[in-house]
Amino acid sequence: MATSDPPMPTSAIDLHMHSTASDGCLAPAAVVERAAAHGVELMALTDHDTLGGIAEAQAAARRQGIHCLAGIELSARWARGVVHIVGLDIDPSHPALATGVTAQQAERRRRAARIGERLERAGMKGIAARATELVGEGVPGRAHFARALVADGVVRDMQSAFDRYLQRGRPGYAAVQWAAIEQVVDWIHAAGGVAVFAHPLRYRLSRGALRAAIQAFVTAGGTSIEVSNGGGGRDDLVAAAALARRFGLSASMGSDFHDPDFRWVEIGRLAPIPGDLTPVWTSMEGVA
C-alpha cells in the first residue's frame, strides 16, 4: 500500500487467500481462524492449482460461524505469458475440474524438479530437499524454493530470491506449460463456479497487453475481475475498477494473503468496491 494512502478499512469479505495446501504459511484451519479474528464473514480459500485445503477450511469455517466458499487459483497460459484465474463457489468434486487440477499438479511437479536441478547446479546443494520439507505433502512452488534460499542465507528475503534466482532468465527459472486460459475457465464453469481474473495490476504488462489478456479471458467466458486487492493503493483500485467497467465484469475482492509476516497484505484489509460495480458474490446462491 502506498504511504500516502489512508489506513485500509477492514472488510467482511475476502475471496482470495492461500494456505499450506499450496504456498501459504498457515494451515487451512489457521487461515480461517485468522479471517474470523479479522472480522471476515465471507471468505474463499483459493490455493494454487489444488483443492487440497478446502475440506479443512470449510470445517473450520463452520466452527467459526463464517461462510467459506470453495475456491482455487489456477495458472493459465495466455498468448503472451501467464495469468491467474480464481474460481469461486466451485464444486471441488466435479470430475472435469479434478482432472484439470491433476494435470496442473503434474506440471508443478515437473517444474519443481527442474528448479531443484538448476539451483543444485548453481551451487545450492540440498535446496530441493529443503523446499520439499517446507511444503509437506504438496508440491514445492517457487515460493518454497525462495523460502529455502532465505533460510540458507543465500539471500536476505524472498523478493531477492525471486529477483536473483527464480525469475525468467535467472539460474533457477524453469518454464512451465500451464493449461490454456480457455481450458481453465471451462473447468471452473463445469464445476459450477465463477471465473475471476486475479490481481490484474500485478502482471508487469503494458496497458495494451493487459487489456488483450482480459479480452482473452472474457472471450473464454470469464465474468469477473478482482478490483480490490491486498497491498494495492488507491490508484490500483481505480485502474482495476476501470477495467471492470470497460469489459462489463463483476467485481471481486481478495487480499491474496500468504504469510502473517507479510504485514502489508493482511486478511480482510481491503478497500471497498466502488458502488457502481456489481459484486461477484451477488450471483452466488446462498451468499447474496
Q: Are residues 143 and 216 in the same domain?
A: no
Indicate whether 249 belongs to any domain: yes
Last residue within a domain, chosen from 166, 190, 213: 166
Residues 267 and 202 in one domain: yes
- Of 121, 139, 166, which marks where a domain is finished? 166
> Is 1 a residue whose pLDDT tops 80?
no
Mean pLDDT estimate for the chain:
92
User: What's the CATH code of the domain at 122?
Assistant: 1.10.150
Higher-confidence position of 159 and 1: 159
Q: Which residues pair with 72 in a beta bridge?
A: 87
Predicted confidence band of residue 250 (pLDDT cuts 50, 70, 90): very high
Query: For residue 4, is pLDDT > 50?
Result: no
- Taking only the tens place, the pLDDT of each residue in 63-89 is 999 999 999 999 999 987 899 999 999
pLDDT confidence tier of residue 5, bands split at 50, 70 and 90: very low
In a domain, 136, yes or no: yes
Task: Output the DSSP codes for 148-205.
Answer: HHHHTTSSSSHHHHIIIIISTTSTT-----PPBHHHHHHHHHHTT-EEEE--GGGS--
Q: Which three cell numbers, joined as nine digits, stand for 253?
A: 475482492
Highest mean pLDDT among 41-45, 132-136, 171-175: 41-45
For 93-137, the pLDDT digits (tens) are 999 999 999 999 999 999 999 999 999 999 989 988 888 888 766
Q: Are β-strands 67-78 and 42-45 bridged in parallel, bridged antiparallel, or unpaired?
A: parallel
Range of the domain at 48: 13-102+178-283
32 & 156 share domain: no
